[in-house]
Structure 1
Amino acid sequence: MHGTGRYLALVSPLVIGLASCGASSSGEKASPAPADGFKTEAIAQFDEPWAMDFDEGTGILLVTERKGALKFRLKDGKIGSVSGVPKVAYGGQGGLGDVVFGPDVVAGGTSLDGRTVYLSWAEAGSGDTRGAVVGRGKLACATPLACSLQDLKVIWRQEPKVTGQGHYSHRIAFSPDGRYLFVASGERQKFTPAQDLSVNLGKVLRLNLDGTPANGNPFAAKGSPSNQIWTYGHRNVLGLAFDAQGRLWDLEHGPAGGDELNLVKAGQNYGWPLVSDGDHYDGRPIPRNSTRPDLAKPAISWNPVIAPGDFMFYSGTMFPSWRGQALIGGMKPNVLVRVAIDGETAREVARTPVEHRIRDIAQGPDGAVWLLEDGKESGAGRLLKLTPQ
């Protein structure tokens, strides 16, 4: 979920009954509850889409494709494209990543002309190295279906660039007051950087809107890049979202088991790779979160995993029973998961099987839920819209 106005998009010509209460962190599936169901409609098709964001002023939806294309959907369903997108290091988990409209909301209008956009992507370095970056630019639209990204400037980079093509994370969220930019930085499958405060890998970062370190960060006295760090001990964060109380949460991939939803608090250590509720892929055990009371514990964890794509907190009126809950798109298994928040803990209340892996999720201006399918499966990559059954 992006910033304060991140919305859902999902559509498929199916009617699905939501699974109801009782699904647990052990991966147990719940029984169906048709009264709490929804229908889906397939709205559009994209090539390996990764992220989306609605513009609050116009209702236009921006969508990134991992190979490096940026597209948008008008309210009438027409699809436009944006030129001037940066070259990306495509491969593995890398490519064009998140997209978020800046907090400078423009009311009304029918065009994206002049809107500030923040993008993340994987950038090639020297040798065989890569790293995530975040850039900021403005849209200039010559016609309703043709815009260009102008004055794009990289405002943040992962330090250092390393080998491999995984765990970039590079999700973006704005604080509810629009003052701060939060960036998720994965540990790039290198494990130990998550505990190293001299690098910004395996961290959640709090920045000013221009990408500079925000004042008051907990490790500012250690200098750069430690002065960017808000929290550490993260593995691969693929969701960042603020709840209605203004609290920041992250959604994180575990290893073999141990996916997590975390309440993100300044200065805390979230434990990776010291602890996890999962184990290494080769079967080697990892000490459980319960063994380290000095480290921050997840609000909920999943074992078996749900392999989350992204999540959001639902605030609309179209699904009143979902208000305040976290809606999570899963990629293993292919599911939509609903999680209720109880103070600083959470519990799964429902999961619904869906046809393909869900990469992103957003809430539309009218309160509909939108899903963006991951594009790796045959026939996937659709934009779906969920409305009440």
Structure 2
Amino acid sequence: MPPTPAAAQAPSTSGADPQPDILVKGLEHPWGLTFIDAQRLLISERPGRLRVVTLQGQVGPAIAGLPPIHAAGQGGLLDVLADSQFASNRMIYFCYTEPAAEGNVYSTALACAQLSEDARRLDKVQVLFSQKPKVYGTAHFGCRIVESPDGKLFLTLGDRYHRMQDAQTLDNHLGKLVRIHKDGSIPLDNPLVAQKGAMKEIWSWGHRNVQGAAWSPDGALWTVEHGPQGGDELNRPQSGKNYGWPVITYAEQYGGGPIGQGLQARAGMEQPVYQWTPSMAPSGMAFVTSARYGPAWQGSLLVGALKFRYLARLELQGGKVVREEKLLQHLNERIRAVRQGPDGLIYLLTDSADGMLLRLKPR
């Protein structure tokens, strides 16, 4: 069993809370951010806008060229990621809620595009992946993008809320983590490539709604996902592994009562590294690799909390969480995205109709 939050919240020795600088206000439900150079970043707004923002607080106009996006409920334009070779190819990746050509059904899609030299439009837009099936509803899209050190793309996908049982079947992309090449093709070493009837993009399954993903300094992928009324999870998704939802969970039904048979463990299903009960609603995560915040922070994992409105700093030892420190509670802001910048500082997005870009000052 993973440590409970109460067991991991011993007093931290890291000192006073870091204070945030407010770089930009007035963003409408910002969701993702990615640096394109040392002074500029792209920020997505869930209603369907992508903007260039500078560290001096300048906000550019909405960038032209996005594909059709269905912005409703939890859906819209979600994560954005600059390619690791952006300086030479100007390529970005973004994920969003893709409407069907006909009917009120939607799914998560991942696209690539080239940002024009003046950063005002997207060229060569190409959809690399489209979640199947498209279903009715505006919840649980997942939609975090990570580029692995070997240049593959990982995309998190939600179970679409009312289709949670599909997270355990392999003939669909609901409740899955997928892995593709940058051209949209399927890596031959994906775990289900040879399995008849399975979606070949799948890397791991049994997920609910993964809204945070980050690559660790030691070369592992980590994710965080929402549980219903408890059971938010921190995982290290591995190839071909089943993470249990909705068969096993530390959560309960909204309003009370067990989910399924009320199991917390079953053979062949993975346990989370850590879990939060009650739910803090994790979204966005980043490892601190710089020395800007002192030795106590190096190697820490930062996770945003939407429901309880704080930034969690998790201290790790041997792949386990040994302490959780709650930061920025005084802001009373939903932390949507977390990223370490080229300068080694931590940048955050707050999720509201008047959202902010924040930069954490070193202590």
Q: Structure 2 length as normaliser, TM-score? A: 0.92
Q: 1:183 aligns with which of 155, 169, 180?
A: 155
Q: Per residue, is there more strand in 1 or in 2?
A: 1
Describe the shift of the 1:43–1:75 C-alpha distance in structure 2 as closer, same or farther (beyond 3 A): closer
- Structure number with the bigger relative contact order (C-alpha 8 A, sep ≥ 6) is 1
Opposite residue 306 of structure 2, the aligned amino acid is M
Q: Kindly state the Cα deviation for residue 239 of structure 1 after the two structures are TM-superposed.
A: 0.8
1:360 is aligned to 2:340: no
DSSP-derived class of the 2:19 partner:
strand
1:116 is aligned to 2:124: no
- What residue in structure 1 maps to residue 81 of structure 2? 100
- What residue in structure 2 maps to residue 371 of structure 1? 348
Query: Aligned partners of 2:187, 2:255: CA distance in 1, in Å?
Result: 40
Opposite residue 180 of structure 1, the aligned amino acid is K
Q: Kindly state the Cα deviation for residue 349 of structure 1 after the two structures are TM-superposed.
A: 2.6
- What residue in structure 1 maps to residue 117 of structure 2? 141
Question: Percent identical across equivalent pairs?
Answer: 34
Q: Kindly state the Cα deviation for residue 257 of structure 1 after the two structures are TM-superposed.
A: 0.2
Q: Kindly state the Cα deviation for residue 76 of structure 1 after the two structures are TM-superposed.
A: 3.5
1:221 is aligned to 2:198: no
Q: CA RMSD in A?
A: 2.1
DSSP-derived class of the 1:291 partner:
coil
Describe the shift of the 1:80–1:195 C-alpha distance in structure 2 as closer, same or farther (beyond 3 A): same
- What residue in structure 2 maps to residue 40 of structure 1? 20
DSSP-derived class of the 1:227 partner:
coil
- What residue in structure 2 maps to residue 62 of structure 1? 42
Q: Structure 1 length as normaliser, TM-score? A: 0.86
DSSP-derived class of the 1:338 partner:
strand
Q: 2:51 aligns with which of 49, 64, 71?
A: 71
Query: Aligned partners of 1:191, 1:283: CA distance in 2, in Å?
Result: 17
Alignment check: 8 A CA contact 1:26 1:303 kept: no
Alignment check: 8 A CA contact 1:359 1:372 kept: yes
Q: Kindly state the Cα deviation for residue 30 of structure 1 after the two structures are TM-superposed.
A: 6.2
Q: 1:90 aligns with which of 55, 61, 71?
A: 71
Query: Aligned partners of 2:15, 2:96: CA distance in 1, in Å?
Result: 41
- What residue in structure 2 maps to residue 111 of structure 1? none
Q: Kindly state the Cα deviation for residue 187 of structure 1 after the two structures are TM-superposed.
A: 0.8
- What residue in structure 1 maps to residue 361 of structure 2? 387
Describe the shift of the 1:237–1:129 C-alpha distance in structure 2 as closer, same or farther (beyond 3 A): same
Q: Kindly state the Cα deviation for residue 346 of structure 1 after the two structures are TM-superposed.
A: 2.0
Q: Which ranges of structure 2 fall in alignment gaps of 5 or more residues? A: none
DSSP-derived class of the 2:159 partner:
coil
Q: 1:197 aligns with which of 170, 188, 192?
A: 170
Q: Kindly state the Cα deviation for residue 241 of structure 1 after the two structures are TM-superposed.
A: 0.9
- Which structure 2 residues correspond to residues 149-298 of structure 1 after superposition, within 5 A? 149-177=122-150, 179-189=151-161, 190-222=163-195, 226-286=199-259, 290-298=264-272
DSSP-derived class of the 1:156 partner:
strand
Q: Kindly state the Cα deviation for residue 31 of structure 1 after the two structures are TM-superposed.
A: 5.5
Opposite residue 275 of structure 2, the aligned amino acid is S
Q: Kindly state the Cα deviation for residue 26 of structure 1 after the two structures are TM-superposed.
A: 4.3
Opposite residue 91 of structure 1, the aligned amino acid is A
DSSP-derived class of the 2:60 partner:
strand
Query: Aligned partners of 1:288, 1:299: CA distance in 2, in Å?
Result: 19
Query: Aligned partners of 2:268, 2:213: CA distance in 1, in Å?
Result: 23
DSSP-derived class of the 1:192 partner:
helix
TM superposition outliers: structure 1 runs of 4+ over 6 Å: 27-30
Describe the shift of the 1:30–1:334 C-alpha distance in structure 2 as closer, same or farther (beyond 3 A): farther
Describe the shift of the 1:24–1:319 C-alpha distance in structure 2 as closer, same or farther (beyond 3 A): farther
Alignment check: 8 A CA contact 1:200 1:225 kept: no
DSSP-derived class of the 1:309 partner:
strand
Alignment check: 8 A CA contact 1:37 1:388 kept: no
Alignment check: 8 A CA contact 2:192 2:198 kept: no
Query: Aligned partners of 1:282, 1:191: CA distance in 2, in Å?
Result: 18
